[in-house]
Structure 1
Amino acid sequence: MALGGALSVGLVGLKAFIIQLQAFISPGLPFFSIIGLPDASLSEARERVKSACTASGVSWPATRVTVNMSPASMPKRGSSHDLAIAASVLSAAGVIGPRALENTVVLGELNLDGTVLPINGLLPIMLHVKEQGIENVIVPRANRDEAELVDGLRVFCVSHLGELLEMLGAHATYEVHEVHADSQKRDVPEADLTLPGDMNEVVGQREAKEALTIAAAGGHHVLMTGPPGMGKTMLASRFPGILAPLDHQEQFEVASIRSLCGQLGAYGIRDTPPFEAPHHTATVASLVGGGAGIGEPGAVTRAHCGVLFLDEAPEFSPRVLQSLREPLESGFVAVSRSKGVTIFPARFQLIMAANPCPCGYGFGTGERCTCREKDRIRYFSRLSGPILDRVDMQLSVNPVSHIGAAAPQEGESSEHIRNRVIAARTIAAQRFASFGWACNAQASGSWLREHTPAPVLAVVNKSLSTYQISLRGAYRVMRLAWTICDLDGRGSPNLDDVDRALSLRTQENA
């Protein structure tokens, strides 16, 4: 009988945990089992590991082999533990020294020929390993760039199981077939990898641009309503370009999510906020997360620290739209599945765009509109009251009546607007430094009641008493007023600020 061990790391959402693997070789008929709540893909590691060991010139034990993955109560999944399973078995078999893998995490998927393939989610794993004080990490060579993003760790890269054996002092015979990270990278639309266009490319819409500046400065959600072809999508796609750049912590949060989704190789670490624009046929699972066993992140998580844009919002399924209610309030989403609850971050800005009616021509005199009244009602009823109540601003994107022959760039550039946004966010961050809030949208109701001037509160209370706004809407109006005064460089909101906030909050969809 012999025991061998190795360390790996598992993920439940973005939460990592150390897995201790113990391999036990005992007398009996040839049999290989993996225990400790493995999923189907992890159970299949038996064949991958046996074949990879044979391909590396190592004889597989012709007896009973059991690998336990502890803690046994935590579900394990994926193929990233293949290399650690192989190392633990070979340690038990005496091929690797009993202390060769002390204080070392082993990560990687094995191919049948022993090639080590790249894995997803390496960045959050590396960050957790560093937190746990483990010094050494063995990773696939194709994940080298991602592994080197975390300082303070000794990273060893291997492209074949045989390289790992030689690194640990064992003999191996093998042939390396190079694997690139691109072969495992999930497709990312090329447009998503480019920087957002400039705001001054949008013709007209001065009022909408100024309203979006307020939204960017305060972290407010927006609904834009107007006829088709007037720039709603252009405005939304350029919105990330006027947001304040991500700080160091936010960059790593976004990068960890992209690593988990297999997209970090395409994006890298950047300070531009993410932008997600799901199609209106998206399902609840694709939006908030889902999948079998343990939940996978959805669009709201990929939009964390950035923008979620729903174009043609009334065309989305009502059930899909209703699923946004909880993450809009809490900033996270809890995906419940048979094997447990997975919590993903989902703090994003929601931008929605809608036509005034199904045909799109129900504006102005409405003479071109072909919709019946019940069609209009049914169209906008998908944007339910609870959803609209969580949207801070409702904008009318009006038709553009004139464009110049030379089509000059109009209004402020994105860079100029972003500088104004950064200045306003700096004021808010200094004001909320003791609370840990980054912008006005995060301010609590108690703080707003205590610090908003009495005349401004009186106006809000008047609207509240006449049922123009709900209690939630009252707090959102106060947050808007504070953002407007921050953009103007004043210490506290005045009556003009709250009047403007109310007009942005309660604007009719027409």
Structure 2
Amino acid sequence: MAIGSSLSVGLIGLKAFIVQMQAFISPGLPYFSIIGLPDTSLSEARERVKSACQSTGFSWPQTRVTVNLSPASLPKRGSTHDLAIAASVLSASGAIPHDCLANTVLLGELNLDGTVLPINGLLPILLHIRGQGVRRVVIPQANRSESELVPGLETLCIRHVGELIELMGGQASYHVTDETVLGRQGMEGTNVEPEGSTGDMGEVLGQTHTKWALQVAAAGGHHLLMTGPPGSGKTMLASRMPGIMCPLNEKEQLEVASIRSLCGTLPSFGISDLPPFEAPHHTASTAALVGGGSGVARPGAITRAHRGLLFMDEAPEFASKVLQTLREPLESGYVALSRAKGTTYYPARFQLVMAANPCPCGMGYGNAERCSCKEKDRVKYFSRLSGPILDRIDIQVEVPPVSHINPNQSSATDNSSTMRQEVVEARKAAMERFTEQGWSCNAQASGSWLRSMTSDKAVRLINDALESGRLSLRGADRAMRLSWTLADMAGRSSPGRDEMLQGIMLRTRTT
């Protein structure tokens, strides 16, 4: 009886867990089986592993080979475990020493010719194993740049299974083609400019009030809705908002990078302090927005927008069922996706920015003299944004059409750099105030804290708005959060009458 062991790591969402591989070579007819809740792609590893090992000159055992994936109660998916399965079989057969794989995690997908292909989700895996005390990891050469983001690990990068055998003290005969090397280098060097980094607020003509509202939203972490006719600049403004938001700190950068690693887009972005920007099309399905799929659910747009901005252009054109799925993530900051094989949790703490026309034809602004829509069509169009959704939007602002172009318009005060610096200062004041509570911005402040810390004079204005029906109780809390953000931007220690009136004004649409 011969048993070989190796270690790999599985992912359920962004949560990683150690997987122990045990290969057992026993007498019997030639057969190769993998047990321990593998999915279809992992079951197919039998052929990939067998062919890859034989490409090194290894003589595959002509007996029964069984590989167990432990813990057997957790589902395992994907081709990430190919290299570890191969290593366990090589260890059981004596091709490599039995003790050489101790405290070593092996990750990689195998090709039939033995080459080791890159994997998705490496960053959260490396962060997990470093926390578990593992100090050596074997990964594909194409993932080298991603592994450098996690110091403190002894990382061995390989291109072929034969290299693994040689590193572990065995002998192998293999050949790596130039096309394979070039392919890996091409993937490793891929790095495009992050989205949202090219536009500047100074390029947007006019819309001073809307820019100020966007700045307030960025300073306090507030959700925002812009309504206005086509061509007024709503999309242009939203796409430039990441440039005025607070830079991501180191922890937040790793969170965003881990999500991108899982989605396979990290090589296109790298590590950046620019908040992510996601803009799904209005035909997006529920699964595309919040995540989904069979087996273990995959992340959606709201998770990819974590710590950044989710922009929903033409918001009333989204299906009502899709919009309703935003209600829980907006409150909780995460999404729970339940499937037959378990529940997957993904982070989803994003800022929501919506843009909408005032009516189906888009001309129902001002006196609406150019509008061709019937009254019932106007009501039906905007009613697609339900009350519970609108109640969760802190800022609701009108974006009027630009009436004239000023070629000499100065952008010294409304460029992204200046606006971002003011946002950073306001956010810093809020973080100092919330040191004990652990909140990072005013949008996270609890209602009880707001009601106890806001002056009676300012609260009276809130009560007046509640009595008149302009605000709901949830809207009252959100208006108070806005007033605290406005106070931070003005350099005040607490909001007064003016900040509270402005907060209520930003909270309620005029049409």
Pair in the same fold by TM > 0.5: yes
In structure 2, the CA distance between the partners of 1:181 and 1:220, relative to structure 1 (3 Å rule), is farther
After TM superposition, the structure 1 stretch with the greater mean CA deviation from structure 2, 39-48 or 169-178, is 169-178
Select the residue among 363, 366, 370 that pairs with 1:364.
366
- Residue 465 of structure 2 aligns to a residue whose secondary structure is helix
> Displacement of 1:380 after TM fit?
0.6
Equivalent position amino acid for 1:136 in 2: R
- Residue 246 of structure 2 aligns to a residue whose secondary structure is coil
Partner of 1:5: 5
> Displacement of 1:56 after TM fit?
1.0
Q: Distance in 1 between matches of 2:212 and 2:118?
A: 45
- Residue 429 of structure 1 aligns to a residue whose secondary structure is helix
Equivalent position amino acid for 2:216 in 1: I
Equivalent position amino acid for 1:157 in 2: C
After TM superposition, the structure 1 stretch with the greater mean CA deviation from structure 2, 467-476 or 160-169, is 467-476
Q: Distance in 2 between matches of 1:111 and 1:181?
A: 13
> Displacement of 1:432 after TM fit?
0.3
Partner of 1:169: 169
Whether contact under 8 Å (1:104, 1:137) holds in the other structure is yes
Q: Distance in 1 between matches of 2:461 and 2:407?
A: 46
> Displacement of 1:155 after TM fit?
0.2
Partner of 2:49: 49
- Residue 34 of structure 1 aligns to a residue whose secondary structure is strand
CA offset digits 1:404-424 (Å, max 9, x no partner): 245664742111000100000
Q: Distance in 1 between matches of 2:276 and 2:118?
A: 24
> Displacement of 1:196 after TM fit?
3.9
> Displacement of 1:263 after TM fit?
0.5
Partner of 1:287: 289
Q: Distance in 2 between matches of 1:367 and 1:65?
A: 78
Partner of 1:204: 206
Q: Distance in 1 between matches of 2:452 and 2:407?
A: 53
Q: Distance in 2 between matches of 1:194 and 1:431?
A: 30
Q: Distance in 1 between matches of 2:304 and 2:184?
A: 20
Q: Distance in 2 between matches of 1:382 and 1:437?
A: 33
Partner of 1:63: 63
> Displacement of 1:184 after TM fit?
6.9
> Displacement of 1:454 after TM fit?
1.2
Partner of 2:77: 77
> Displacement of 1:209 after TM fit?
0.6
In structure 2, the CA distance between the partners of 1:284 and 1:181, relative to structure 1 (3 Å rule), is farther
Q: Distance in 1 between matches of 2:467 and 2:17?
A: 51
CA offset digits 1:67-103 (Å, max 9, x no partner): 0111101100000100000000110111111100001
1:342 aligns with 2:344: yes
> Displacement of 1:466 after TM fit?
3.0
In structure 2, the CA distance between the partners of 1:194 and 1:427, relative to structure 1 (3 Å rule), is closer
Q: Distance in 2 between matches of 1:429 and 1:116?
A: 46
The 5 Å alignment of 1:86-485 reads 86-177=86-177, 178-179=180-181, 180-181=183-184, 193=195, 195-405=197-407, 409=411, 411-485=413-487
- Residue 129 of structure 2 aligns to a residue whose secondary structure is helix
Q: Distance in 2 between matches of 1:376 and 1:191?
A: 40
Q: Distance in 2 between matches of 1:322 and 1:276?
A: 18
CA offset digits 1:357-393 (Å, max 9, x no partner): 0000111221211111111111111100000000001
> Displacement of 1:45 after TM fit?
0.1
CA offset digits 1:111-162 (Å, max 9, x no partner): 0000000000000000001000001000000000001110100000000000
Equivalent position amino acid for 2:442 in 1: N
Whether contact under 8 Å (1:182, 1:265) holds in the other structure is no
Whether contact under 8 Å (2:230, 2:357) holds in the other structure is yes
After TM superposition, the structure 1 stretch with the greater mean CA deviation from structure 2, 248-257 or 455-464, is 455-464
Partner of 1:37: 37
Whether contact under 8 Å (1:193, 1:266) holds in the other structure is no
> Displacement of 1:467 after TM fit?
2.6
* CA RMSD across the alignment: 1.5
State the identity as a percent. Answer: 63
Q: Distance in 2 between matches of 1:262 and 1:461?
A: 50
Q: Distance in 2 between matches of 1:214 and 1:405?
A: 27
CA offset digits 1:38-59 (Å, max 9, x no partner): 0000000000000001111101
Q: Distance in 2 between matches of 1:462 and 1:108?
A: 63
- Residue 89 of structure 1 aligns to a residue whose secondary structure is helix
After TM superposition, the structure 1 stretch with the greater mean CA deviation from structure 2, 459-468 or 16-25, is 459-468
In structure 2, the CA distance between the partners of 1:142 and 1:191, relative to structure 1 (3 Å rule), is closer
Whether contact under 8 Å (1:242, 1:421) holds in the other structure is yes
Equivalent position amino acid for 2:108 in 1: G
In structure 2, the CA distance between the partners of 1:381 and 1:246, relative to structure 1 (3 Å rule), is same
Whether contact under 8 Å (1:10, 1:19) holds in the other structure is yes
Q: What is the TM-score normalised by the length of structure 2?
A: 0.97
Q: Distance in 2 between matches of 1:57 and 1:170?
A: 12
Q: Distance in 1 between matches of 2:479 and 2:381?
A: 26
Equivalent position amino acid for 2:474 in 1: R
Q: Distance in 1 between matches of 2:236 and 2:416?
A: 13
Query: Could you list the runs of 5+ residues in structure 1 that have no partner in the other structure?
Result: none
Q: Distance in 2 between matches of 1:183 and 1:286?
A: 29
Query: Could you list the runs of 5+ residues in structure 2 that have no partner in the other structure?
Result: none
Whether contact under 8 Å (1:9, 1:19) holds in the other structure is yes
Equivalent position amino acid for 1:316 in 2: F
In structure 2, the CA distance between the partners of 1:373 and 1:241, relative to structure 1 (3 Å rule), is same
Whether contact under 8 Å (1:202, 1:410) holds in the other structure is no
Whether contact under 8 Å (2:196, 2:277) holds in the other structure is no
- Residue 137 of structure 1 aligns to a residue whose secondary structure is strand
Whether contact under 8 Å (2:305, 2:348) holds in the other structure is yes
- Residue 299 of structure 2 aligns to a residue whose secondary structure is coil
> Displacement of 1:465 after TM fit?
2.9
Q: Distance in 2 between matches of 1:110 and 1:506?
A: 57
Q: Distance in 2 between matches of 1:152 and 1:209?
A: 44
Q: Distance in 2 between matches of 1:235 and 1:120?
A: 33
> Displacement of 1:207 after TM fit?
0.5
Q: Distance in 1 between matches of 2:160 and 2:243?
A: 43
Whether contact under 8 Å (1:242, 1:414) holds in the other structure is yes
Q: Distance in 2 between matches of 1:257 and 1:42?
A: 22
- Residue 271 of structure 1 aligns to a residue whose secondary structure is coil
Select the residue among 489, 492, 495 that pairs with 1:490.
492
Q: Distance in 2 between matches of 1:161 and 1:70?
A: 23
Whether contact under 8 Å (2:218, 2:423) holds in the other structure is yes
> Displacement of 1:459 after TM fit?
1.5
